[in-house]
Amino acid sequence: MISDKRICLACPHYGTCTTSKTGRMVTRLLKEEARQRLEAQYEEPQSQEIYKLRKQKAELPFGHIKRNLKVDSFLLRGLKGVSAEASILATCFN
């Protein structure tokens, strides 16, 4: 994060990204570069082909459980109860 306005005022792009006379604060996440790399990788055609398979592999069990087994919410509350109920549903799917 750039919090020193002197850096902004000395930037060669000053004036194109802000109209403020005191500069602007730019906030970037800690792992922003990694996120941008992943987004660029996702946009590649090869990655899109792999992502299309997700519908067949990952979403099928959830669709079966929701539609055919008619389960749209957990009956139990709390991590222990939900984990037990999810295990039973996974067993029913298998």
Q: Tell me: pLDDT of 91 over 70.
A: yes
List, in sequence order, every residue forming a beta bridge with 26; answer none if it has no partner.
Answer: 2
User: Is the pTM value of this prediction over 0.85?
Assistant: no
Which pLDDT value is given to residue 39? 93
Q: Which helix (H) or strand (E) covers residue 67, if one does?
A: helix 59-67
CA-to-CA distance for 18 and 94, rounded, in angstroms?
Answer: 57
The answer to whether the beta carbons of residues 31 and 4 sit under 8 Å apart is no
DSSP 55: H
Which pLDDT value is given to residue 40? 94
pLDDT digits (tens, 9 = 90+) for 4-59: 677 777 888 878 877 887 777 777 778 888 999 999 999 999 998 988 888 778 88
Sign for the CA dihedral angle at 78, 81, 85, 88 comes to positive
Q: Which helix (H) or strand (E) covers residue 25, if one does?
A: none
CA 23 to chain centre: 31
